[in-house]
Amino acid sequence: MCVNLVLDADALLGSGEGVAELSAPGAGSVGPIPAAVASRILQAAPEQGRWVRRLFTRPTTEHLVAAESRQRRFPAGVAQLVALVHPTCRTPWCDAPVAQIDHVRDRSKGGRTALANAQGLCQACNLAKSLPGWRASPIGEGNGPPVAIVTTTPTGRVYSSESGP
């Protein structure tokens, strides 16, 4: 079962003063609950099935201003955009069609699941980039797709793959 638990800043920071809104898809809102109860719900949820999305609101208006995703896979729209921008493998010497959308900088090394850190690779290059000694870095500005990806091989050679328009 999926439930939504929206905490205000006080509840999130554990001051014990805040409130949370509890709802379930199809059931609607249960209503506000004390921060302490919300904290117990989060602690009791099994780690395997728990999914947390952090939403940030402007304190004065409570309007949503940002959202952080902890998902590992890129959303379908982002994957399509990456494949449209660069339809062949981003490894500089490979021109195979894109088979997988993956992180330029691995999630395990702090890479975000965001368009600015996304690349399309063939299956062989996607597997090879996880081997010891391989490094890749996205180059670009803002939140758009990387303008270039710099790949360093285990031998220390550096290659760059630029995007088309």
CB within 8 Å of 149: residues ≥ 6 apart? 90, 104, 119, 136, 137, 138, 139, 160, 161
What one-letter code names the amino acid at 84?
L
Comparing 24-28, 72-76, 101-105, 106-110, the range with the smallest average pLDDT is 24-28
16-67 per-position pLDDT tens digit:
667 778 777 777 777 788 878 877 777 777 766 666 666 666 667 767 665 5
The confidence score (pLDDT) of residue 54 equals: 61
Phi and psi, residue 66, nearest 5°: -165, 160
Please give the share of the chain, as a percent, with pLDDT higher than 70: 75
* Residue in the block written with tokens 């490894």: 91
Per-residue burial over 41-78, b = 16 or more CB atoms within 10 Å of its CB, e = otherwise? eeeeeeeeeeeeeeeeeeeeeeeeeeeeeeeeebeeeb
State the virtual CA torsion across 136, 140, 145, 146 in degrees, nearest 10.
-30
Comparing 55-69, 78-92, 116-130, 151-165, the range with the smallest average pLDDT is 55-69
Comparing 18-22, 105-109, 116-120, 122-126, the range with the smallest average pLDDT is 18-22
Please give the share of the chain, as a percent, with pLDDT higher than 90: 25
Q: What is the DSSP letter of 104?
A: S
pLDDT bin (cut points 50, 70, 90) of residue 96 is: very high
The confidence score (pLDDT) of residue 53 equals: 61
- Average pLDDT over the chain reads 80
Whole-model pTM: value is 0.57
Residue from 68, 63, 5, 59 nearest 31 by CA: 5
